[in-house]
Structure 1
Amino acid sequence: MNDQPILKQLYRDFNARNIDAVLAFMHADVDWPNGWEGGYVSGHDEVRAYWLRQWQQIDPVVEPVSFEERPDGRIAVGVHQLIRSLDGQIVSDGHVNHVYTFDNGKVRTMAIEQ
């Protein structure tokens, strides 16, 4: 699974709020789940706007804990997701799977599995 280093870096950059670095790993037409408000966002501009809105309201930290390549080529990343309010109160603390597809070395889609 040669995409694991890319995914690890993506999470490090997300947790550091380095949007441009994360977007550099994404396909220009990426489909990304809006896990906070619902639905999906598409493309770099919508992903950037979504994260900026999110970070004005909550403080998520997402750490990968496992990686699994599925038979269909998708990569499931088990993550520990800790979400705090901006004043530091824990809103959510749990585990979910993020499931990725790649297109020419870039993240093309991500889905959240509970």
Structure 2
Amino acid sequence: MDYQPILRQLYQDFNARRIDAVLAHMHTDVAWPNGWEGGYVSGHDEVRAYWLRQWQQINPTVEPLSFETRPDGQIAIRVQQVINDLAGRLLSDDQLTHVYSFAHGKVRTMVIEH
């Protein structure tokens, strides 16, 4: 299955803060990295709560740059992540790799590689 269009849409929805649209493509038992506070969150409710907390403190935007399907079936996406504070001041501007795995057509895990 070609997950690239779904993943591109996920980034667009995340950047537009359409949380329900993003969660609709996630497995109910998704494991998602808490790149802001550390560790992982699990499931739709924890991911929602994490993002809502994050967006009250910082304003991240993440744009996909390239896609690679790995031999194990995971999809690695090189992204440009720009984080501003709520006043619009730049806090960071980095390239990272997000690695996704899927189960039953939904995002099951995401890992951040630096």
TM-superposed CA distance for 1:104, in Å, is: 1.0
Q: Can you list the C-alpha shifts for 1:67-100, whole angstroms capped at 9, x where unaligned? A: 0000011000000000000000000001000000
Q: TM-score, normalised on structure 2?
A: 0.99
| 1-structure distance, mates of 2:82, 2:74 | 24
**Percent of residue pairs bearing the same amino acid type:** 72
| 1-structure distance, mates of 2:79, 2:20 | 22
TM-superposed CA distance for 1:55, in Å, is: 0.1
Q: TM-score, normalised on structure 1?
A: 0.99
In the alignment, which residue of structure 1 is the partner of 2:36? 36
In the alignment, which residue of structure 2 is the partner of 1:52? 52
> Is residue 48 of structure 2 the alignment partner of residue 62 of structure 1?
no
In the alignment, which residue of structure 1 is the partner of 2:92? 92
SS in structure 2 at match of 1:35: coil
Unmatched segments (≥5 aa) in structure 1: none
Q: Can you list the C-alpha shifts for 1:36-58, whole angstroms capped at 9, x where unaligned? A: 00000000000000000000000
In the alignment, which residue of structure 1 is the partner of 2:18? 18
Count residues with an aligned counterpart. 114
